[in-house]
Structure 1
Amino acid sequence: MTKKNTFPSKADVIASTPDPAVREMLRHMEAAGIETPFDRFDAQKPHCGFGLNGTCCKNCHMGPCRITPKSPKGVCGADAHLIVARNMLRWTAAGVAAHGARGREVMLALKGAADGSLDLPILGPEKVIATAKSFGIHDEAKSIEEMAGEIAMILLEDLCRTIPGPHKTLEAMAPAERIQVWKDLDILPIGAYHEVFEALHRTGTGTDGDWRNVADQILRCGLAFAWSSVVGSAIAMDCLYGLPKRSRVSTNLGAITLDSVNIAVHGHSPVLVAAIVKAARGETLLSEARAAGAGTIKLYGICCSGHSALAKFGDITPLANAAGAELTLATGALDLWVADVQDVFPGIMDVAACFHTRVVTTSDSARLPGAEHIAFDHHHSNLDQADILAERIVRRGIQAYGERQAGKVFVPKARMDAEVGFSVENILATFGGAEPLLEHLKSGRIRGVVNLVGCNNPKVVYEEAIVRVAEELIAHDVLALTNGCAAFALLKMGFCLPEGLEGSGPGLNAALAPLNLPPVWHMGECLDNARASAFFRTISAASGESLPRLPLAVSSPEWSNEKGVGAALSFRLLGLNSYHCITPPVAGSDRVSDFFYQDTRETLGSVMVVDQDPVQLAQRIVADFDQRREALGWQSAAPAANGRLSALQEEKAHQFAHDHGHTHSH
C-alpha cells in the first residue's frame, strides 16, 4: 500500500510556495473563514491507498472491488494488472474527450467562417496555406475560405471517423519514422471518437480481460489525443484566430486595477472568449462602463482561456491557474467570472458568494449551481450568436462593478512582467531559421530543450516543483518551453523575461542574450503542446536525427488530471522521455508499472521518470541529455551556473529593502 499522510498541508504551502501573493491570499482567506482547495485537500487525508495504487474497480455494480493479498481478484476475476490498466485507459480516454470536445467547437467555427454561415474573419491565412500544403490540398486558384473549409472537414473527419481509414492529420504531420513505429505496434487510431468509444467498450463488464491488450488501447488513445484533440484543435485555432503574437504583459494579482470593470475568463474554449474580447473593446460597452463610473473594461486570464486569448489578441492579464482561481476570486476585485469548460472547480461558487462577483457559464457541457447561464447550446446551433451573447455577458460585469464592496477588496502587490506569444514561426524568424538553433544545440550552448507543462496538484507544494525544476534546468543551460497551468508560476516568478537569464548558465546566456530572449518561452495554453511538438519536429528535421536520439523531453512536475496522462503519452509516443514529481496510480500492478516506466523504451524509445524531489528530477533530465549528446557526438555543455533564479531574486529584493530603508533614514 502507498504510504499515507505524506502529502503537504496548507501550512506547508504557506511556508514554501514561491509566489508571495499566494501566501498573502491563503492567510487572508483563512482569516475570513473562506475555504480553499488546500483546506479541502487536508480534509481528505488520509487518502485511499487503493485509489493511489489504482487497484479499486467501480466499473460494474457487483463491486466496488479492491485488490488485497486476501482477495487478489475482483468478483468478475479481474486481477490487479487488469484493473490498473483499465483505470488508466479510462483516464486517457477522458483526456481525449476533453481536448477533443472543445476542439470540435473551434473546428465547427472554422467551418462556419469558411462557408459564410458565421460572421467570423479568418485571421490566420498563413496557417491555412501552410496546413493546406501539408494536407496536399493547396491550390493557388482556391480562396483562403475554400481551403479553410476543406481543412475544417479533414479535422472533423479525423475527430469523429466511424468508417476505418487513414488518419489524415497524423499522416500529414507526424514524422515518417514514428508512423512506422506505430504501424508496427498496430496502434494507429481510427479517430478520436472511435478510440474513446472503444476504450469505454473494452473496459466494460466482462469484455477485455488482457491487461496488455488494454495497454495497447491506451497507446491508441494517446495518438488520438495527440493528433486530433491537440494538433487538430490547434490547427483550427491558428487558422481561425491567427498565430501567436509576441508581447510583454504584466502578471500576478498585483496587476489587477481597481478603477476598471474587471472580467475574468476561465476555461479552455476560445470561440466565445474571442467575442468577449471584441465586445469589451467596442466603444458601446466602453461608454457604458464609463457611465457606471469605471475608467475602462479589463480582461483577466484564468487557466487556458487567458493564455489563449493573450497569445492571439493581447490585452489580457494572466492571473492564475485552475488551482489558484479561488484565491483570485477572494481579492474581491473581480466583477464578473466567465467560466466555460474544464478545470473550473465547483468551489469557485462558494468563494464568489462571499463577494459581489457574478459568475456566468458559457457551455452546455459545464454548468455551476447558482451561476447565470449564457451559452452556446448542445447542438452549437447558436454559434452565429456569439457577438450577442458576448455583449450580454460583458454587461453583467458592468452592472456588477457598481456593487463592488470596497471594504472586501484585498489585492496583494506582487506583480511581474513577462514576455509571451512564442510560436515555431516567430522563433525561427528570430533566429534566422532552424540551423542557428541547431548549432546552439550541437555546440552545447543549449544543452537541450524541455517542454515544462502540467496542471497543479496539492500532493506537492503549490507551484514549487515547477519553479524548482525550471530554475535547475536553466542553470544547466536547458531551454524551457511552457504552456497551460504550469506557465503561470513561471510567468509570475520572472522566468519569462530576458532578465531571467541571470539564473541561467553561460551557454544559454550566450545563445539567448544577444537576441534579448528569456530562458523560458511561453507558448500559450495547454493545447499548445502542439507548438512544442512542432518545435521538436523542426529540430529533428534540421538535424537529420530521429526524435528519440535528441536531447529533448517533456516534464509535468505537478500533473493532476486525465489530460495530463494524454499530454505525457503524446510525447512518449514521439520517443521522448517524460519526467514527473507525482506518481501515477499504477503501483498496484508491477506489470502495468513496468509498462509505463520502462518497457516502452524498447517499443517507443522513451521511458517515464518520477522523482518527488524536483531538483533531483531536473538533474535526471540533465544527465539524460548528456548521454544523448555524447551518443550524437555533440560537444559537452558547460557546468551549471552557481546561482538559482529564485535565490538571486530574493537576494535582490532584500538588498532593495535594505537600500530603501537607508534612504529613508538619511
Structure 2
Amino acid sequence: MSTNDRHEQTHEQEHLHAHDHAHPHDHAHDHAHGHDHSHPHVHGGVADYMKAVAEYRKTFASKQDVLDHTPDPAVREMMLRMEQIGLSTVFDRFDAQKPQCSFGLAGVCCKICNMGPCKITPKSPRGVCGADADLIVSRNLLRSAAAGVAQHGAHAREILLSLKFIAEGRLALPLLGEKRIREVCRAFGIETRGQSAKRLAGKLADVLLADLSRPTPDDYETIKALAPKERQEVWQKLDILPISAYNEVFDAYHRTGVGTDGDWRSIMQQFLRCGLAFCFTGVVASNIGTDAMFGIGHRATSKVNIGALKKGYVNIAVHGHLPTLVSEIVRIGRSEEFQEKAKKAGAKGIQFYGICCSCLAAMYRYEGVIPLSNAVGAELVLGTGALDLWVADVQDVYPAIMDVARCFKTTVVTTSDSARLPGAEHYAYDHHHSNIEDTEKLARKIVTRGIESFAARRDVPVFIPAYEVTADVGFNAENIAEEFGGFGTLAAALKSGEIRGIVNMVGCSNPRVVYERAVVDVADELLKNDILIFTNGCASFPLLKLGYCSKAGAAKAGAHLQQFLAGKLPPVWHMGECIDNTRASTVFGGIAQAAGHAIKDMPYAFASPEWSNEKGLDASLAFRLFGIDSYHCVEPPVQGAPNVERFLKHDTKETLGAVMVVNTDPKALAKQIIADIEKARQALGWK
C-alpha cells in the first residue's frame, strides 16, 4: 500500500471512529416501515453518512458466505473446484477489494475534472469548484444513468440497423415477426395495407432510429404511440419528455461537465429524461426490433444449469446481448452440414448453451439452446472444462473469463467492434457495419473454430456437477392472453385475491449480497403469499436453475396461487432477456386496462434485489416512471447526499407515484413488497 493509500485509509477511519457514538439510522428501513422520512445526515452532516456507509459495508457478503449460503449446489461445487485448481473468481476478487471506499459507496467522490479528485469530508464540505454533496452525487448518478442509456441504446442500434439492412436487402435474414411488424406500424400510424413486410420493416426501423438519434426537438414517436396517456400527461407536466436517446446522453454529459449545471434538482430532472430514453429506445425499441426479425417465440421447456452440459459434443456458449449474429451462428451450427463436420472431428454433434441474455433471447426461439448462468457465474461455467468455444459480444462479459479460458484451452471469439478481449480471436461486424453482408461467412467461420477447438482439446479434463432441471420459458403478452382468453381472467384473479399481486423480478447479480440468495429469498416470501412473479435477465437464472419456473415449482406458492395455477403453470413466468421487460410491462398494462385502473394504482411491484450496473439503475427508474415502486437489496451510491437520497426514496411518490425502496435483508424487503401490495389492494377496495 502506498503512503497516499495509507493516509486515505487512516483519514477515512478517523472520521468513522470519531463518531462511533452516533446513533445508526437506516433511512431505507424507515421508509420501508412507514417511519419518518427525514435523513440523519441532514443534521449530522458527513459523520452520519460515513456511519451509515460503514454499517452498510458490514452487510457485504464474503466468499465464505457464498459457499455457506448459495441456494445452488452447483455453484458451491464449482467454487470449490476453482479453488482446488488455483483459479480466482469474482468472489475472490470482491473479498480482495475490501474495505471498499466509503466515499465511493456514498457517491461523494468527484473526478469529473482534473482539479480533483474531490471528496466530501468535515474538513472539505465542498469540492474545489464549490460543488456540495448533493451536486456531486446527482452528477455521478446522472452519468451512470446516461451510460445505461448508451448501453441499451447500442443494443437497440444494432438490432434496428439489422432490421433496416434486411429491408434494404443487405442482410439475408428472414423476417419471422411479420404480425408484430404490422401491429406496431399501425400503432405508429404507418399505413400497412398493400405494403410488404420488408417495406414496413424499413419504415419502422427509420422511426425507431429517429427516436434513437434525433438532434432537433420533436415528438418522441415511441412514447407518443405506445405510452399510456395518463403517463404522458405526467411526464409532460414534469417537463421530462426526451428529444432522443442520443440527445439525452449528450445533454447529461454536457450539464455534468465542469462549471455547467450547478443545481442538483436540474440534474435529477435530466436523470428522469434519461430513464424515459432508456425505457422507450433501449428496451421497447430493442424488443420491437428483435420480435420483428426473429418472432416473439413460443412457450417451450428447456434444460437448465451446469449439469445440462453434454460431454462428447462440440460445446459452444453464446454470451452477451446482440441477437443478429447469434441467430446465424445457431442456424449454421444446427445445419446438417456442420453437424456432419462435427461428427467427422469425433464429436457426437454440436450443442449450444447460453450465458446472460443471448441465450435467454434464443432459448424460446430456437430449440436446444440451454441456459447455464448469468454473468457473475460465467467463470464457474468455463471452469467445468466442457466448453470448446465461447462466443462473446457485448455487456456483462468480464475480462477475467480469459484467464479461465486459457487454463482450459477454450477458444474465445469476440463479435463486436465495441467489445474486445486481449487474447481472444475477433470475427465481427466493423465499426460501420460495412460487412453486414458477410453475416453468414462470419457465422460459418465461428462455428468452424468451435469444431477445431473441440479437436484440439481432447486432453482437457471435464468436471460437470450433476445438477439440472427442466424449466418452462417463453411467456409473453400474446400467449398469456391466449392462455386466458384475454387479460380479464388475470384481472379477476387479482381482484378476488386468488393472486394477491404481481412482481416483475429482474436485474443483475452482485457479490455485495450472497450470490443469487437475495433473489431466491425474496421469491420464496412472495410466492407463499400468493404473489405471482414475472422474470427475465440475469436475476432469472437462480429461478430457472432451482425449479421456480417449472410446474412442480407451484408447490412453493400459497394455496390461492396454487389454485389459480391449477397444476398447468409455474409460479414464476419467464419472459426472456433484459429487454423483455417490455413483455412484463405490456402484461401489466393489459391487466390494468381489463381491471379499469391505471398501472400506478395496481398491486404491482418491480424488484431487482441484486442490481449492480448502470443498466440496472435505469431499469428500476423506468418502472418508477410508470408509477411502480422498485425494491432492492443493494444501495445506490447516494448516502452522502441527503436531498438526492430523499428524491429517490421519498419525493417521487408525489410526482411519479413511485419510489425506490432499499433493504439489505431480502426477507424484510419481501415483507415490505407484500405490505405495499396489500395497501394498493385496500386502496382499490379489493379483498
> Which TM-score applies when normalising by structure 2?
0.91
- In structure 1, how many angstroms separate the alpha carbons of the residues matched to 2:467 and 2:128? 55
1:361 corresponds, among 380, 394, 414, to: 414
Q: Deviations over 1:41-93 (max 9, x none)?
A: 00000000000000000100000000111100000000000000000000000
CA 1:344–1:407: 2 relative to 1, 3 Å: closer
Secondary structure of residue in 2 paired with 1:35: coil
Partner of 2:594: 542
Equivalent-residue separation in structure 2 for 1:258 and 1:503 (angstroms): 33
Structure 1 residue 580 and structure 2 residue 608: aligned? no
Post-superposition offset of 1:311: 2.4
Given that 2:492 and 2:595 are in contact with CA atoms closer than 8 Å, whether structure 1 keeps it comes out as: no
Q: Report the Cα distance in structure 2 between the residues aligned to 1:114 and 1:534, rounded to whole angstroms.
A: 27
Aligned partners of 2:583 and 2:460: how far apart in 1? 44
Which residue does 2:653 correspond to in 1?
Answer: 601
Once the two structures are overlaid, the 10-residue window that deviates more, 54-63 or 133-142, is 133-142
User: For the residues of structure 2 that align with 1:231 and 1:75, how far apart are their CA atoms?
Assistant: 41
- Please tell me whether the aligned partners of residues 265 and 305 of structure 1 are also in contact (alpha carbons under 8 angstroms): yes
Residue of structure 2 equivalent to 1:561: 613
Q: Is 1:589 aligned with 2:641?
A: yes
Residue 75 of structure 1 is matched in structure 2 by: 128
**Cα deviations by residue, 1:210-267 (Å, 9 ceiling, x for unpaired):** 0000000000000000001110111010011100211111000000000110000000
- Could you list the per-position Cα deviations for residues 496-530 of structure 1 after superposition, in whole angstroms to 9, with x for gaps in the alignment? 0111111101111111125x010001100011111
Q: Which residue of 2 aligns with 1:525?
A: 577
Change (3 A) 1:129 1:617: same
Q: Structure 2: which 5+ residue stretches go unaligned?
A: 1-49
Q: Is the 8 A contact 1:451 1:554 kept in 2?
A: yes
SS class of match (1:412)? coil
CA separation in 1, counterparts of 2:397 and 2:166? 29
User: For the residues of structure 2 that align with 1:391 and 1:81, how far apart are their CA atoms?
Assistant: 53
1:439-465 Cα distance to aligned partner (Å, 9 max, x none) = 111110011110000100000000000
Given that residues 65 and 514 in structure 2 are in contact (C-alpha distance below 8 angstroms), is that contact kept between their aligned partners in structure 1?
yes
Amino acid at match of 1:533: S
Say which SS state the counterpart of residue 548 (structure 2) adopts: coil
Distance 1:439 1:138 in 2: 36
Mean CA deviation greater in 623-632 or 210-219: 623-632
Q: Give the stretch that moved more between structures: 461-470 or 4-13.
A: 4-13
Contact 1:333 1:404 in 2 (8 A): no
Query: Which of 209, 231, 235 does residue 156 from structure 1 map onto?
Result: 209
In structure 2, the residue matched to 1:383 is 436
Q: Match for residue 271 of structure 1? A: 324
Distance in 2 separating the partners of 1:137 and 1:616: 48
Q: Does 1:287 align with 2:340?
A: yes
Partner SS for 2:422: coil
C-alpha deviations, 1:621-660, integer Å up to 9, x for none? Answer: 111111111111112xxxxxxxxxxxxxxxxxxxxxxxxx
The answer for the alignment partner of 1:655 in structure 2 is none
In the alignment, which residue of structure 2 is the partner of 1:646? Answer: none
Please give the secondary structure, in 2, of the residue aligned with 1:312.
coil
User: What pairs up with 1:472-511 in 2 under 5 angstroms?
Assistant: 472-511=525-564
Q: Does 1:612 pair with 2:686?
A: no
How far is 1:406 from its partner? Answer: 4.7
Give the number of aligned pairs.
634
Cα deviation for residue 618 of structure 1 reads 0.9
Task: Kindly indicate whether the alpha-carbon contact (under 8 Å) linking 1:300 and 1:317 is maintained by their aligned counterparts in 2.
Answer: yes
Asked if the contact 2:342–2:348 (Cα under 8 Å) also holds between the matched residues in 1, the reply is yes
Question: What is the aligned partner in structure 2 of residue 411 from structure 1?
Answer: 464
Once the two structures are superposed, residues 556-575 of structure 1 have per-residue CA deviations (whole angstroms, 9 ceiling, x without a partner) of: 00000000001000000000
Q: Which residue of 2 aligns with 1:146?
A: 199
What SS is found at the alignment partner of 1:265? strand
Residue 305 of structure 2: aligned partner: 252
Query: Post-superposition shift, 1:39?
Result: 0.3
Q: Residue 643 of structure 2 aligns to which amino acid in structure 1? A: R
Q: Distance in 1 between matches of 2:449 and 2:170?
A: 28
Separation in 1, partners of 2:353, 2:473: 15
Q: Which amino acid aligns with 1:540?
A: A
- 1:187–1:219 Cα contact (<8 Å) kept: yes
Structure 1 residue 281: deviation in Å? 1.1
Secondary structure of 1:567's aligned partner: helix
Q: Any conservation in 2 of the 1:56–1:65 contact (CA below 8 Å)?
A: yes
Give the match's secondary structure for 2:407.
Answer: coil
Aligned equivalent of 1:370: 423
Unaligned runs of 5+ in 1: 636-666
Q: Does 1:320 align with 2:373?
A: yes
The range that moved more, 404-413 or 609-618, is 404-413
* Aligned 8 A contact 2:385 2:460 in 1: no
Secondary structure of 1:545's counterpart equals coil
- Decide which of 98, 107, 117 is 2:170's aligned counterpart: 117
Q: For residue 117 of structure 1, report the CA deviation from its aligned partner.
A: 2.1
Aligned partners of 1:56 and 1:66 also within 8 Å: yes
The aligned residue for residue 37 of structure 2 is: none
Give the Å deviation of 1:537.
1.2
**Secondary structure at the residue paired with 2:456?**
coil
After TM superposition, give the deviation of residue 405 of structure 1 in Å: 4.7
Paired position in structure 2 for 1:641: none
SS in structure 2 at match of 1:402: helix
Q: Which amino acid aligns with 2:325?
A: L
Q: Percent identity?
A: 56
Kindly report which structure 2 residues correspond to 1:32-43, keeping only aligned pairs within 5 A, or say none.
32-43=85-96
Distance 2:639 2:286 in 1: 33
* 1:351-388 Cα deviation digits (max 9, x unpaired): 11111200000000000000000001011111221111
Q: Which amino acid aligns with 1:629?
A: R
Please state whether the residue corresponding to 1:485 is helix, strand or coil.
coil
Q: Report the 3-state secondary structure (helix = DSSP H, G, I; strand = E; otherwise coil) of the residue aligned with 2:210.
A: helix
Distance 1:590 1:405 in 2: 59
Cα distance in 2, alignment partners of residues 313 and 23 from structure 1? 30
Could you tell me which residue of structure 2 aligns to residue 21 of structure 1?
74
Distance 2:324 2:338 in 1: 19
Does residue 103 (structure 1) correspond to residue 189 (structure 2)? The answer is: no
Q: Over aligned residue pairs, what C-alpha RMSD do you find? A: 0.9
Equivalent position of 1:296 in the other structure: 349
